[in-house]
Every structure is written in structure tokens, then in C-alpha cells.
Structure 1
Amino acid sequence: MINPANPDFTNHPAHPHRKDFDQRLISWNDVPEMTIVTPFYNTGSVFYETARSVMNQSLQQWEWLIINDGSTDPTALQILEKYRHIDPRIKVIDHMENRGLSAARNTGFVHARCEYVLLLDSDDLLEPTAAEKWWWYLETHPEYAFAASYHVAFGGLNYLWTGGFHDGVMNTERNRVSMMCVIRKSVFSAVGGFDDTIRGGLEDWDFWMRCAEHGYWGGTIPEYLAWYRLRGDHSDRWENMQAERLDEFRALLQNKYPKLYNGEFPSPLETVNYDLTTPSLDIPAFNQLAKTKPHLLIMLPWLVMGGAERFTLNLIDQLIERGWVISIATTAQSDNAWLHEFEKRTSSIFMLPNFIPIKDQPRFLGYLVQSRGFEAILIQGSHEAYRMLSALRAFAPHIPILDYLHFVTPAWMQGGFPRLSLLGHDWIDFSITSCEQVRDWMVAEGANATKLGVGYTGVDPNVWKPDPSLRQQVRAGLAIAADEKVILYAARLEAQKQPLVFAESIIKLAQHGDKFTALVAGEGSLQAELQEKLQTAGPQARAHMLGSVLSERMPAIMAASDILFLPSQNEGVSQAAYEAMACGVVVVGAQVGGQGELVTAECGVLRLPESHQDESSEYAEILHQLIVDPGRRQRMARASRERIGNMFTLEQMGERFIKHLAQTVENKKNDANKANARPVSAINTREIQYLVEYLQAKQLFLQQNQETQRLYQKFNDLQDKYLFLLQPKPPSHWFYLWIRQLFLPLYTRLRQTKLVGLLDRLRGRIKGRWVKDS
């Protein structure tokens, strides 16, 4: 999938660098769940790309109807002949003459065996999970008649399009939905299909408006699942797309469907019963895929920049190298800014809040288990996944469930995720901790020591290394002198990482008179507050806010630094600390969690949290001592890199993890009793109901809290403006307004002449002289 922050429009789903989806149905005789309809008229070799994107769909229970709309081109006919025989799920239906897109689509719907019909033109492309997500979206949103997504326009024009069904009535002014979507066949039949008299384009806009006139509308998955191939200008082929014809077509729609333009546009709403929710556990179809390799499901909260996420990326790399296939399910609402990083490793990623309501997430996970046949499930940092453990166990009674625990959070739920792990001990087969400190805490709290193991994370010292060339390049780009000391903060800007303590410390360090530059790599809820604090500190506290840094750029940022400063409130072992030490960067931080198991006195300085000194002052002094003693800093840098190479490489991390994973899988196979396995039919449905209602209430609370914060900010902004208006103004202010009002009619008339530039400059000078602070 494309990275919206840095889009590569050449890396489409059929690009040779993209991996093929290598799982196929166990049985070709499975009844299809979706019909794909593709009108085909003299399409050239680009059709092979469209076909590849269809064959690579993660939903393999499809039939594909290719409607040959009277093609005459020899090459096109050869392509069609190939696909008549290539796969039993593909059927070519011939029109004896060219009848147009509408007629071809109507033919497809008539022959479709499925309720869900996916429309795909013969040169467009789908991301691998598109059909599967659209299918489940309509399965779990009965209020919607169709499902679409964001799309990528590529070819003659390149852009990202986020318009769609969610824009509602705005679709009356412009066609905001591409034809890559899924439509319920029953709705198609109810409205009479596409108008095949429209041959000049925009027949899809007419279809959407007719559906809306009948009360049907759709929803949008906020992901770039579709790629729409464009030429530079479509108006030479489709006359309705010419500017003057577009206006005429809009007027035609307004006459055909007047109530849509008079406030009666449909607005389907998802019904959520917060008082009594009855979750369905029915799985509509299994889409059972044959396996050639062991398969692991990883459950995460989100896909954002952070140490835990970098660990997961490294872990996935190690598992793939050892022959594993990875699927990912995320459970928390997020912009998932690092989605593209994870999709470099696997296309099988399901961000549940984007397309599945909470009440249906347990059964979707049950479907995923049945479809993929996972060897194991790994939970990492997902609050929702822990809450759904009983449902996971019910749907996967014989599949081992593991979790990875990074650190203990005493201030949250009496321990954070390790506490949730303890509460779910009946369903979790094995817990891997990031360090001995977390393992010891679990044992002290009553965990079974035989179900615990330590799995230190690691780094690739061939990627994370001292690099004079990168160091010089980054410093030159940021105007940092070669001999200036650089202090790096690389973490989320959240309370746990204490970015404000970082700011206070470097401000005090600057007051020492030390010359240095601070780099901040990360984003989060405290970003604005941190930026304000650094700005008010004055020029002596020189800092660059780098924002969310691409993972491939972080080794360069690290190589340009001298000290990594992470004053975290709590940690397991920071992933950034591993990376810094591999680069020969000295670590300064807090002696919390398992940090001391990695950062020894020879490699860095860790402050004891129970110290009675002022926290920021003590950190400032530690940093000062390192800055003024280059010899000590260099010894620590050498010791740090040596320690990583000896004990904490990625290969060692992978070996440790695979050892725990393989042993847990083997133990589960040999577990004759399987005491924690309960068949789905015996699930305590009330228990599932309670967990769904809890998660729904939590989601509602978070939404209301976010809206409250937005309104509070708006109130503060209005209050500031009101107080400004109440402040007394000098006489010159009122004199300017009097002069402005006096000459406004003349100014308005003269603005239409060539004097406009002179008038604007004159007005600016008068206003700048007479109006202050306005």
C-alpha cells in the first residue's frame, strides 16, 4: 500500500517488486463469496497487471466474470483466449458487439452467483486485501449497500483521492466515488442496474444518484485499497467529462433526482446498542487457504513510529528469514503512519477499526484463524487483544497464544500489560519478556515461572553503525558544525518518555554554557507543549524537531549524534538504546525496567529514579560531564558497540524468539488435556457480550473525550480573540479605520485597474504605521 506521506506511484500492486500472495484455496470447489465483474474492450497488455492483482487477492473464494464487450483487436482477443482456460474460477462472457460499460456491467450482474459484486475495470488494480475487507465491511454493516475505499490515481496523472461515499450529499455536485467497489446484487436489481443509454461516461454517477434516490448509500474504508489508472485527459474518450458537458450532466441529474438536491439525501447510520449488545459469532465463509509455510498472527495496537514497533519489524524480518509467514491485526484507532513499513514485509494486514465494528471483531478474528490456519498467535501491546482472549481461545482452542511484554507500568492498571497478561493466564500459553526485570515482576505477582522466558531485543550492527559519511551528510543538512556535540531524543512524545524533562534538562545544560544541538525524532500528544518550551528557552537551547522519521533514515540520524538522552518514566529495555549503542552513541537515561541489563556503567549513564536531586538538574550535570570529557565518551562508545556485537544482534534475538515459539507450539501439540480449550458452541456468550460492551464503552469515552478537548481548545481560541478585542486601542487605530471606511468605495473600484499593486502597497504601509498589534 502507498505511503501517503511520501507516495511512490510506480509501486503499484502488480509491480514486479511486490510479492505474490502465495496462498490458494484448499479446495477449488468452494462456493464463491464474491463475484468480480470486469468489462473488457480491446484492452492491451496492462490487463495482465489487473489479472495479477485479482489472482493475488487474500479472499480467494471468488469468481471472475470478464465481459468481452465486442473486442476486435487481435492482441486483446489473444489475451481473452488465455484467460478462458487459465483458472476454473474465471469465465469470459462475450458480447457480439460493443455495447458500452453500462451494458457490460449489467451483463456481469445478471450472471453473478454472489450477493457481493466487485466492479473492476480492465486496467485498474487492487491491493491484496481489498476484496476481503470490502466483503467483511458489508457483512458487518448491513445499513450500507456498497463499500469502497480511498484510491490511488496513477499513470497519466498521479494523486491520492480520499473522497467517496462518506462525503454524502457532496456527491450530488461531483462524482466522488470510483467504480472500484463492492455492490450488493440485491440493491443493483432493486434500482434496475446501470443506464445503458449513457455511453459518454459518468454512467456510474447516474447509478449512485439513482441508488440514493431509492434510499441506498455506501461506506468507505479509509485505506488506499484501489489503484485507478488515468490518462492525462479522459475527455477525448468520454464526452461527458468535457467541462461544458459536465455541467449539463449535473443539471440532468438534478432534474432526474430532485429530492437529493432538496435535503433528502440518504445518510445510513450504524446502529450501536450500548445498553445491550448481542455479538454475532457466525462466520459467513472460511476462505480456507492451503499452507506451505508456518503462519503467525501478530496482534498490535497500531502501526506507528516507536521502539516497540521497530522491535516488531525486526522480529518479522527474522521470522520471514526462517520461513514464517506473517499476518497482522491492529486493534486501536490510529493513523497507522508506519503502515508502509510493515507492508514491506507482509500484505496481510488488517486494521480492524477501519472496517470492522467492535461487536464483530471477535468473529472476524475467528474467521482469520480458520482461513489462515495459524501455528500461533502473538499479542504485543494490544489492550483490546487481551480483552478478547477468551474469544480467541474459543475460536482457536488448539493454537498456542503467546505475548511479548516490554515493560511494567506501575501507574497504569497496577503494572500495565504484564498485569493484563497475568489476568489472562488461563488462555496464554507462554509469555516472553524483554528483560529479566519484567520476568521477575511477573513471578513475584504469581505467574508460573515455567510459562515465562526472556527474549532480549536486538539490532543489526551492519545497519546501525558509526558512519562518518552519513554523520557529515546529516549535520550539513541541519547546519551543525562537525565538532559540535549532538544530543538525540528518539521516542514518542508521550508522558511515559518524559519529553518535557528532556526539554528542561537541555535548557539547564545550555545555561551551563555548553555548546550543543538537540535533535527530537518523534511525534505525540506532547509535541506542541515541547515545541513551545524549547522555543521559549531562547537560542542557547538549539533544537531541531524532526517529527516522525522514516525508519531507513534513523541510522543516519543516530550516526550524526553523540549522546542518546531518554529520561523515560518506565521502560523494559529501550529499542533506541540498542540502536544507539550499536552506532557508538552514549546512552543517558533512567535506571528503570531492564535498562541496566543493557546499558552498563562502561557504556552509558543511568540515573537512579529514587535520587533526591532535581531530575532535570541531575540530567543536565550528567550531560555536561560527558560533553566536556571526549575521552570518556569515546571509551563508552567503543564499549557500547562491542557489547551489542557480543550479545544483542538481530540473529541472536531471532534465535531466542524462535526457540520460545517453537517450544510453545510443540508443547501445545503434546498437551493431551488442553484444559484451556473450549469449543465455540460452548462459549459463554455473556462473557463475549460483556467484553464487547466494555470495548464499545471505552471507544465512546475516547471519542467524547477527544471532542471535549476539541471544543475546549476552540473555547480558548475564542476567549483569546474576545480578550484581544476588549483591549483598548490607540487613537491611530480608530483614525485608520475612519480613513479606510472613507476611501473604501474608491479603493474597491480602483482594484479592477492596473493600480491594484500600488494600492495594496500603500494600504499596507498606512496600516503598518497606524495599526499596532491588530
Structure 2
Amino acid sequence: MPLPPFPLSPSLPAYGYAPVDPAATPVVSIVTPCYNSGAIFLDTARSVLRQSLQQWEWIIVNDGSDDAATLRVLALLRAVNDPRIRVVDRSRCGLSAARNAGVAVSRAPLLFFLDSDDLLAPTALEQCAWALASRPQSAAVATRCATFGAAQQETRRGFATRHMFPHDNPLTVSVLLRRSAFDRVGGFDERFRDGLEDYEFWVRLAAAGLWGHDIAEALVWLRRKAPETYRGYRWTFREDRGAMARMRNDLRTRYPQVFRDGPPRVSGEPSPILQPHALIDPEPPFANRLQPVGARRVLMLAPWVEIGGADRFTIDLAAGLRARGCRVSVCLSRPSANPWLNELRGAADEVFNLPTFLAPADYPRFLRYLIESRSITTVVVQNDLFAYRLLPFLRAWCPDVPIVDFLHIEQEHYHGGVPRAALEYDPVIDLHITSSHHLRQWMIERSADPVRVDVCYINVDTQRWQPDPAARARVRAELGAPPDVPVILFVGRLAPQKRPRLVAEIARALMEQDVPGMFLVIGDGPDMGWMRRFVQRHRLERRVRLLGSAPSAQVREIMAAADILLLPSEHEGIAFVLFEAMAMGLAPVAADVGGQRELVTPDCGVLVPLAGDQVAQYVEALQRLIADPQRRAAMGQSARARVVAHFDQQQMIDRMLELFEQAATLARDAPRPSVDRGLGLATASLAIEYFQFREALLRLAPVRWARAARWSSAWETVRRIAEVRTLLDRLDRRIYVLRREVMWRIKRALGKEYNQ
């Protein structure tokens, strides 16, 4: 997985955090020893000042610096009119003594040791402080570390790397530590002046029965330099290969139990299966009042950012709102690999991946904290069933904040899916925003108030997605596609909803009829194995290319080389890929489902109804377009013209801001019923209990296998096999009737009583 965005990258959104009261009691004391660090110390200062948690104090211990560049930086920091920054001067005494001196004058209950050449990600202190609040049994919290400078990589060692410790040290000093734990072990041993002081400290912490846990996100950036460029602290132990072994032997003598048993285990949350009831504290563990910035401050609640149209819309909406001067905070609630997480970080002002640093029972109060800390003006629920269940809590504790949701598609196999949840939680939502008039009508037919349901199409960036002749020629050459051979593109998850098996059958039928064309399939999913076998079995390798998942930029280039988009989905709202393909000048051949006819008109594409012989209908539509290049090109031009005129991304952002204002007006003039805080707390407790129980079940192997089978196209085969049960039931009934007929006749012949 690529490294997260560099904390000081000009392309990374800068929220502009500033405290309401710089003199407020600090939550975290940052302690930084400084000895001849030079001008690079300014980078460290910038990363501290950009922290989302602004209730900190920064104690810089000048450990006898005599370098002119370092002294200039220290002079600048002394001159800053910020009561949170203090520079403490000492004669040269070494890292351990400098850190102890900083802690001695600190005031906060939490300590973070930051070296003078390292950096923090913008949300580092805030996530670490919340992680410790969420795990009160833990003495410290570490994050993954990314290195920059002479080496770029991400290290995933930490407190959880138990097999290494104490034989090796998997930890850096840059962790958030409870002050009580620091005091209990007596701070750093000041005899260590040339390195390894952190290793010795962690062994003593373990010997005291204290340990920590990790955040699975790189929030600390460690600078790597060539040894000869270090002008500050130097680690002489690196030049003595035996130093580490001597230190290890000394520690083994002093702390044999730690070397025998390893570090203590930090007790975690109760088992969600054995003890599922969630005890929720509604009060945030600390305050962090920030000055309101931006035209509007939006909190988006989403489950994840996986590969799909709804998640692409999350990223585009965040980027579009930020470009209009809004501040956008995003919270992701579900465990996931989040392949598009870095894209989201580049689009939103701040992203909190809640499962990486919070226990589920702390989600409700963290959301309340964010709303109060950032002075949120609009909460947007985006395709997240779990977020709906927390809305009564948010309405109870933050009653004045307008809540809207964005709905993409009804899912009848889920009893309506997310739109059904929106109807159930309608009394706490100010405005429902749907991606199509079709879905708006679906909501109204099921009792939604028409005044509180409006439409905003998801649209597309028509400047980014436009025909590219150079890319077309290059990609076609790479694929070996002659200029006169039409390229038919499928983009989507290889799962039953998108019907990739139908795509394969269509490709085979066209080949059997000797219709020219090359199929490109972009996507992955449970049906990938079936697709590979089908292509091999029917010798379609020259006609069908399975390209797997691809990043957005690559999809755009492949679209430039294509002529037709094929999308025979079983159900859709309006597929996001339709907007992209039409903007690229492709002629779409798609299923007539959901609201797709609101985008695809007869002059710019073909919609195929679900009824009838599906293969035959799609083959006929494709044959006509393949046989008539002029009609195909005209459709592609009309498709792009329609999208540019009516479905550009900027129009979507205009509409969304208009609807945010509409929601604020409704919240003010026709407010939703208030929710009692006790009821809000009870519903949140049930929501967390359900969430924990469900996630625990989903981690069980039999459940994973069953779900994989259920959402693969193989389920249809399983369903047909299950029909044998119906036949067996019929056979049982026939046997029963036959047995009754035989028995009453036998009893009559023997002169016994019988029932006919």
C-alpha cells in the first residue's frame, strides 16, 4: 500500500486549525529536545502548529545548541505570540535529561515525545489522545511510522509486535504516553546520552506491568539522513556493533521476567459475542474548541472508500465542497482496506478512519465531539447504515445541526437497503437527497414527505473526463486493437449486481456470429474466477481481456481507447461509470433500470429492458452500433454534449450547496421533533451492540464463506440445487398418501377399524 500523503505537502488540504482559547488547559504536552537541529526544525514546528488537536503545549528543551541556524529558529519560536510554546534553555546534558526536564515543567496528563527533525500528520495528536481515552487500560499508544528523506517506507512495528520485544526494540520514542506511567517508571535514565535510552525505558515500562497499543495508521514521520549529515545528536552505539548486545545482556540481568514472559498484555474491549452490551459515555474526554473556518463546515459519515461509484462520489463531493471554501471532515465507520483512502485524504480537509483508533462504543461521543469542536454546520450521511442508527444520539446531543443524507439506489433484496433505513430514520433527518427522480418517487411512494426529498445528480468532472486522441492511439497500440475494430468496455465489480456473466455470454454470442469487436473488462470480485474459466473454455482470449481492478487514471485512459460502454446491471441508481463514459464520448449500452433513463436518452445511448432474452437483446443493440460507425460516433458526441450541458460536476456542487441551505431552512423553520437524551443514548447503545456483534460474526470463517457464496453468481446454481428439496417434499407427500391408501385397505380386509 502506498505511503499516506506527506504532512507538509502543498497538495494536502490545510484545514487552518486555530484554538478559540490558546490559554486553555492543554490536553497533550509535546516535549522536544533540540540540539543543533538546524533549519529543518522549522518543518517540525509547522507540523505541530497544523495539529487538529489545538489544546497542546509545546516544550522545546534547547540542549546547549550553538549552531547559528538552530539559534535563529529558536529565536523565532520565542518571539511567537503563542502561550502554548515554551523554550527551556539548558547546558548540554543529552536526550534523556532534556526530555525529563521538559516533562518536569509540563502540565498535561498526556506526553508526546517528538524529535526535532520529525513530523506529525495533522490529526496525529487528536487520534492518539482519543485512542488512549478509548483504551483506559493502555499506558501508551504508538502509530505506524513513515520515513522520509534518505529512505521512504512505512514501518508497522509497535506495541503489538510482541514477538520482537524485548530481544529487539520495535518502538520509537514518538508515542503518546500517560504522564502517570512516565512518573511510575521514573522517566528516562539520564546515564544514556548516546542512544538506546528509549529501549531501556520500554523495558522498564514492561517490568512495571504497563504496556500500550497501536494505531494502524502512519501518523508519525521520521526523517532519515545520511550519518555524516547529522549535526545534532549522534548515536555512537551504531558505530559499536557490540553495544546493543551488551545493553540487552544488562537488561536481561535486571529484568529477567520481561525477557522470559515478554511485555504484559493490555486488556481490550469485552467480547462482542460473549458480552455484547456496549457501555457508552456520551461525554467527550476533553474539549478542543476551534475557531470556525470556511464558508461551511461539513461532516460526512461514510462506511469506507472501496472501489465503487458511491465511494467515488464521496471523494468528488469532498473535493468539490472544499474547492468552494467549505471545510470537510470525513469519518469512516467500517473496517476496510480502504483502497481509495489516500485519494480521500487529498480531497477532504481531514479524514478519521474510526476503526483504527477507537472502540465502537466511543464512536457516538467522538462524532458529538467533532460537531462541537469544528462547529459543524451540516451532517451528511453517505451510504452508511450504521450512521443512520447513530442519528438519534446526534439529534439528542446536537439538536441544532441540520442532518441530510444522500441516497444512490434502492436495493429490493435488502428490503430497500439504505433508502429503507432513510425512511425508518426520517423523523431525525431534515432533508433526503436522492441521485435520481426515480429514487425520489420511490421514497415518496413509501410515505416520505415530498418537501423533504429532493434530487441532486452525482455528475462528473467533464474537464478531467474528456476524449483524448493521444491516449486512444497509445492504449489501442498497447492492446493490439486495430483502429477499425470497435472496443467494448465493461467497468464494474464482478458480482451478480453488475451481471458480468451476462457480459461473457454476450461476448461469446458476438464471436459465434463473427461480429468484430474487442471486449475489455475492468474490475474484480467474486466472479473473476468464473470469468477466467469461461474465457478459456470458449477460447475468447483474443476477444476478451480481463484487466482486473484499475485506478481512476488508468480507467480514464482505457475509456479513451474504447467506443462502447456495456453495463447490463441487474439494478442501479444511475451508475457513476455511465457519467464518466458519456463524458469520454462513448456510446452506452446499459440496462434500463433505476434512474438511468434520466441520463441516457435515445440519441446518446441504448437502454435494454430487463425482460425477455437478455443475451439476444444486448447482442442486437451492439451489432447495430458495431455495423454503423457513424451512428456510434454521433451517439458518443451526443452523450458528451448532454453530460457537459446538464451533468457537470460543478453543477452538482452548486446544487448540493443549494440543498444544504434548504436543509438549514427546514431545520430552522420546520424543525424535526426533539429526541430525549436518554432515548438517544439507548438507541446508540443498541446500535453499537448490533455493530459489534455483526462485525464479530463477519470475521468468522464459515460466515465469510457463506457470504462469499451468497453474493457470487454461483448462488443461482445453489438455489437451483435447493429446489431438489421441493421435489423431495412432493415425494414425501405422495409416499404418505400411498401408505395411507394401502393401510386402510389392508385393515378393511382384516376386519379391523380403519380411517379412509
Do the two structures share a fold, i.e. TM-score over 0.5?
Answer: yes
Structure 1 distance, partners of 2:108, 2:9, is: 30
1:624 maps onto 2:623 in alignment: yes
Amino acid at match of 1:612: G
Query: What secondary structure does 2:589 align onto?
Result: strand
Give the C-alpha shift of residue 675 in structure 1.
4.3
1:34 maps onto 2:36 in alignment: no
What's 1:254 paired with? 252
Structure 2 distance, partners of 1:696, 1:366, is: 20
Of 694-703 and 103-112, more deviation after overlay is shown by 103-112
Alignment of 1:652-667 (within 5 A): 652-667=651-666
**1:332 counterpart (328, 331, 334):** 334
1:14-38 deviation digits (Å, cap 9, x = unpaired):
2344443312111223211111111
Structure 2 distance, partners of 1:360, 1:659, is: 33
What's 1:288 paired with? 289
1:550 maps onto 2:560 in alignment: no
Q: 1:501 to 1:233 in 2, by over 3 A?
A: farther
Q: 1:546 to 1:40 in 2, by over 3 A?
A: farther
Query: What secondary structure does 1:392 align onto?
Result: helix
What's 1:198 paired with? 192
What's 2:753 paired with? none
Of 590-599 and 483-492, more deviation after overlay is shown by 483-492
Q: 1:493 to 1:196 in 2, by over 3 A?
A: farther
Give the C-alpha shift of residue 456 in structure 1.
1.2
1:266 maps onto 2:242 in alignment: no
1:670 maps onto 2:672 in alignment: no
Structure 2 distance, partners of 1:403, 1:245, is: 60
Give the C-alpha shift of residue 57 in structure 1.
0.4
Structure 1 distance, partners of 2:172, 2:6, is: 17
1:353-383 deviation digits (Å, cap 9, x = unpaired):
1111111100110101110111110111011
Gaps of 5+ in 1: 714-774
Structure 2 distance, partners of 1:541, 1:216, is: 62
Q: Is the contact between residue 121 and residue 219 of structure 2 (CA under 8 Å) also seen in structure 1?
A: yes
Of 229-238 and 336-345, more deviation after overlay is shown by 229-238
Query: What secondary structure does 2:87 align onto?
Result: strand
Give the C-alpha shift of residue 47 in structure 1.
0.6
Structure 1 distance, partners of 2:570, 2:619, is: 17
1:384-431 deviation digits (Å, cap 9, x = unpaired):
10111111212220111000111111001x111110000000101000
Q: 1:540 to 1:278 in 2, by over 3 A?
A: closer
Q: If the length of structure 1 is used for normalisation, what is the TM-score?
A: 0.86
Q: 1:269 to 1:508 in 2, by over 3 A?
A: farther
What's 1:699 paired with? 695
Alignment of 1:486-505 (within 5 A): 486-505=487-506
1:88 maps onto 2:83 in alignment: yes
Alignment of 1:48-447 (within 5 A): 48-86=42-80, 87-96=82-91, 98-233=92-227, 237-242=234-239, 243-272=241-270, 274-293=275-294, 294-412=296-414, 414-447=415-448
Q: Is the contact between residue 397 and residue 677 of structure 1 (CA under 8 Å) also seen in structure 2?
A: yes
Structure 2 distance, partners of 1:268, 1:710, is: 33
1:583-618 deviation digits (Å, cap 9, x = unpaired):
111112211100111112222222211x231x3454
Give the C-alpha shift of residue 117 in structure 1.
0.9
**Identical positions, percent:** 36
What's 1:12 paired with? 6
Give the C-alpha shift of residue 483 in structure 1.
2.9
What's 2:460 paired with? 459
Query: What secondary structure does 1:170 align onto?
Result: coil
RMSD value, Cα: 2.4
What's 1:476 paired with? 477
Of 112-121 and 246-255, more deviation after overlay is shown by 246-255
Q: 1:183 to 1:495 in 2, by over 3 A?
A: farther
Give the C-alpha shift of residue 310 in structure 1.
2.2
Amino acid at match of 1:239: T
1:689 maps onto 2:685 in alignment: yes
Give the C-alpha shift of residue 621 in structure 1.
4.0
Structure 2 distance, partners of 1:434, 1:500, is: 27
Query: What secondary structure does 2:577 align onto?
Result: helix
Structure 2 distance, partners of 1:707, 1:160, is: 33
What's 2:736 paired with? none
Q: 1:200 to 1:505 in 2, by over 3 A?
A: farther
Of 480-489 and 219-228, more deviation after overlay is shown by 480-489
Amino acid at match of 1:199: R
Amino acid at match of 1:27: D
What's 2:713 paired with? none
Structure 1 distance, partners of 2:423, 2:508, is: 41
Q: Is the contact between residue 13 and residue 125 of structure 1 (CA under 8 Å) also seen in structure 2?
A: yes
Of 189-198 and 502-511, more deviation after overlay is shown by 502-511
Structure 1 distance, partners of 2:634, 2:145, is: 53
Give the C-alpha shift of residue 176 in structure 1.
1.9
Structure 2 distance, partners of 1:542, 1:119, is: 59
Give the C-alpha shift of residue 528 in structure 1.
4.1
Query: What secondary structure does 2:521 align onto?
Result: strand
Q: 1:561 to 1:154 in 2, by over 3 A?
A: same
Q: Is the contact between residue 298 and residue 377 of structure 1 (CA under 8 Å) also seen in structure 2?
A: yes
Q: Is the contact between residue 397 and residue 679 of structure 1 (CA under 8 Å) also seen in structure 2?
A: no
Gaps of 5+ in 2: 710-756
Q: 1:642 to 1:21 in 2, by over 3 A?
A: closer
1:92-132 deviation digits (Å, cap 9, x = unpaired):
11222x22212222222222211211111001011101110
Query: What secondary structure does 1:166 align onto?
Result: coil
Structure 1 distance, partners of 2:387, 2:335, is: 13
Amino acid at match of 2:430: D
Amino acid at match of 2:642: R
Structure 1 distance, partners of 2:36, 2:100, is: 19
Amino acid at match of 2:98: A
Give the C-alpha shift of residue 676 in structure 1.
2.4
Structure 2 distance, partners of 1:513, 1:540, is: 15
Q: 1:18 to 1:464 in 2, by over 3 A?
A: closer
Give the C-alpha shift of residue 135 in structure 1.
0.5
Amino acid at match of 1:194: F
Q: 1:473 to 1:258 in 2, by over 3 A?
A: farther
Amino acid at match of 1:72: D
Query: What secondary structure does 2:214 align onto?
Result: strand
What's 2:754 paired with? none
Q: 1:46 to 1:547 in 2, by over 3 A?
A: farther
Give the C-alpha shift of residue 177 in structure 1.
1.9
Q: Is the contact between residue 534 and residue 541 of structure 1 (CA under 8 Å) also seen in structure 2?
A: no
Structure 2 distance, partners of 1:706, 1:38, is: 50
1:131-154 deviation digits (Å, cap 9, x = unpaired):
100010000011221111111111
Structure 1 distance, partners of 2:208, 2:533, is: 53
Query: What secondary structure does 1:411 align onto?
Result: helix
Structure 1 distance, partners of 2:93, 2:543, is: 68
What's 1:638 paired with? 637
What's 1:512 paired with? 513
Q: Is the contact between residue 569 and residue 592 of structure 1 (CA under 8 Å) also seen in structure 2?
A: yes
Q: Is the contact between residue 510 and residue 541 of structure 1 (CA under 8 Å) also seen in structure 2?
A: no
